């Protein structure tokens, strides 16, 4: 008899240092049978659905909610999710539910709840009882908590940053849920939280310290037959919550000294290499001196302090100011500014207009820039990912909507103005607007690590710079109030 599995998701990376709220209306919501439309895209939900099809489950589709990273989530969004789960639970009264499969982030914070995922798992456990296995896929940047460990059977983290394997992780979570439903095996989640926190710039899996830690957990999985999965959670430093920071989990069939020793070895390696993860970017003025000595591009200059993938509004003007001050030619930057796009609706192509650009959405930004610009083009801002395994697919699938857009020129700089903040994780973003990235001398990207899968293959050089913004790699610039102390690098 086919297994009956409830599938749901709620996904948001919350930056608590941003002003305002992420509203319910900002979530992309799929209800009921509409969830099945995700199969075939590159999202973790697609991986879950492919595992379901392969295992021939009867899917009970509930709700999938996703929003771009941003400020804390209003409680209405959480209420919406729980209301839908309650409705589905009521409709299944008298029918068996053999398992639950979830798509989560792990660093979601609402106005009233520090640990949204922990509360979601606890409510599902209460609704469906201890015998129903609950598995899911979860982001590598999760701030993992005891509630997540105690109320789940197997949560699988992405293994790569950039997240090229988000869909694969969803499939792996489904595969393990199918195993638990077939065998009746009971799992324990061993969790180790460290007093270590790294900015996003220190969490790329191609570099240390994450590279060694990921290799170690893969070895644990190979050598210990009791360990079904081992996870490294780099954490999300811009969520001021008690359990922010680095942690590890082992999903095991046996809680023995052997598994505890494995966690201890992971912790020891992480603490030994903690300085390697605390990457602080050089001032933009220093990098511009190096750029001035170069004659060929593309040169990619990342601006982690305005990292859209970590919730920043993408409206910072720090790098743009530096490009103007240093008279850099054939440069491309992206600024999220819906008001500027709206103003340009009345502009004539080729004719210069005075335009206010950027500076909105964060107290960490410099004021807007007043520039004379010429309009090059306008568009609806929609494009399809060139790379179906792009980091962006983990949040949005393959169809991306930047909202109405405009491309303008100021001297030697082309500025793509968007109406919806869009992480720069795929070259299709620029190419869809008539900008050929390979022919630019310098491309500014508002990101920390996740852009590198797209941009490294075309870049002659790559730099990161420190500019004003709400996602600075220097974590000592932020006023933490809830995080557990002491913690590196905030404390000696």
pLDDT tens digits along 449-463: 999 999 999 999 999
Q: State the Rg of the chain over Cα.
A: 23
Using alpha carbons, list the distances in angstroms from residue 403 to 12, 148, 336, 418. 20, 35, 10, 6
Q: Is the pLDDT of residue 492 over 80?
A: no
pLDDT band at 95 (very low <50, low <70, confident <90, very high): confident
Phi, then psi, of 408 in degrees rounded to 5: -125, 165
Q: pLDDT value at position 87?
A: 93
Q: How confident is the model at residue 220 (pLDDT cuts 50, 70, 90)?
A: very high
- Per-domain residue ranges of the chain: 4-277, 284-472
398 or 112, higher pLDDT: 112
Q: What is the mean pLDDT of residues 114-130?
A: 96
Q: What is the pLDDT of residues 361-416, one digit of tens each?
A: 999 999 999 999 999 999 999 999 999 888 787 777 788 999 999 999 999 999 99
User: Which candidate, 169, 229, 173, 123, places its Cα nearest to that of 5?
Assistant: 173
Judging by beta carbons within 10 Å of its beta carbon (0-12, 13-18, 19+), is residue 329 exposed, middle or buried? exposed
Helix axes 284-292, 318-325, angle to 10 degrees: 40
Which ranges of 243-358 does DSSP label H, i.e. alpha helix?
257-272, 274-277, 284-292, 318-325, 338-343
pLDDT of residue 92: 81
CA distance linking residue 101 with residue 404, whole number of Å: 36
Across the chain, mean pLDDT equals: 96
Single pTM value for the model: 0.95
- Which tokens sit at 229? 């999965």
Above 70 in pLDDT, residue 94? no
Q: Between 3.40.50.2300, 3.40.50.261, 3.40.5.50, 3.30.420.40, what CATH number should domain 4-277 receive? A: 3.40.50.2300
CA dihedral 330, 333, 337, 339 (to 10 degrees): 0
């Amino acid at each position: 008899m086919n297994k009956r599995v409830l599938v749901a998701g709620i996904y948001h990376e919350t930056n608590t240092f941003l002003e305002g709220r992420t509203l319910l209306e900002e979530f992309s919501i799929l209800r009921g049978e509409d969830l099945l439309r995700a199969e075939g895209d590159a999202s973790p939900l697609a991986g879950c659905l492919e595992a379901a099809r392969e295992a021939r489950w009867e899917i009970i589709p509930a709700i999938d909610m996703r929003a771009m990273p941003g400020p804390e989530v209003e409680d209405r969004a959480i209420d919406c999710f729980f209301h839908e789960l309650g409705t589905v639970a009521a409709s299944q009264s008298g029918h068996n539910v053999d398992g639950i499969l979830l798509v989560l982030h792990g660093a979601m914070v609402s106005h009233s709840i520090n640990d949204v995922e922990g509360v979601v798992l606890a409510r599902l456990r209460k609704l469906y009882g201890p015998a129903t296995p609950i598995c899911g896929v979860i982001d590598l940047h999760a701030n993992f908590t005891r509630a997540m460990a105690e109320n789940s059977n197997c949560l699988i983290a992405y293994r790569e940053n950039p997240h090229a394997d988000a869909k694969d992780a969803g499939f792996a979570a489904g595969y393990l849920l199918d195993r638990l439903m077939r065998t009746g095996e009971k799992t324990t989640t061993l969790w180790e939280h460290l007093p270590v926190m790294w900015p996003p710039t220190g969490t790329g899996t191609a570099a240390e310290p994450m590279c060694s830690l990921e290799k170690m957990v893969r070895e644990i999985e190979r050598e210990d037959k009791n360990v079904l999965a081992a996870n490294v959670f780099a954490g999300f430093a811009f969520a001021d919550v008690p359990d922010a920071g680095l942690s590890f989990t082992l999903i095991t069939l046996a809680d023995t000294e052997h598994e505890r020793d494995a966690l201890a070895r992971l912790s020891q390696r992480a603490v030994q290499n903690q300085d390697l993860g605390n990457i602080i970017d050089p001032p933009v003025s220093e990098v511009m001196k190096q750029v001035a000595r170069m004659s060929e591009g593309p040169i990619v200059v990342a601006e982690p302090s305005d990292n859209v993938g970590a919730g920043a509004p993408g409206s910072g003007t720090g790098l743009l100011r530096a490009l103007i001050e240093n008279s850099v030619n054939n440069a491309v930057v992206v600024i999220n500014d819906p008001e500027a796009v709206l103003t340009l609706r009345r502009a004539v192509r080729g004719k210069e207009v005075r335009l206010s650009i950027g500076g909105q959405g964060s107290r960490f930004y410099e004021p807007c820039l007043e520039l004379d610009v010429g309009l090059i083009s306008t568009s609806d801002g929609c494009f399809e990912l060139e790379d179906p395994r792009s980091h962006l697919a983990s949040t949005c699938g393959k169809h991306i909507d930047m909202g109405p857009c405009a491309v303008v020129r100021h001297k030697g700089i082309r500025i793509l103005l968007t109406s919806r903040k869009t992480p720069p994780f795929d070259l299709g973003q620029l190419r869809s607007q008539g900008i050929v990235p390979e022919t630019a001398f310098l491309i500014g990207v508002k990101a920390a690590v996740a852009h590198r899968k797209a941009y490294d293959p075309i870049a002659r050089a790559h730099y990161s710079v420190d500019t004003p913004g709400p996602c600075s790699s220097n974590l000592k610039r932020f006023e933490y109030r809830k995080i557990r102390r002491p913690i590196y690098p905030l404390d000696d």
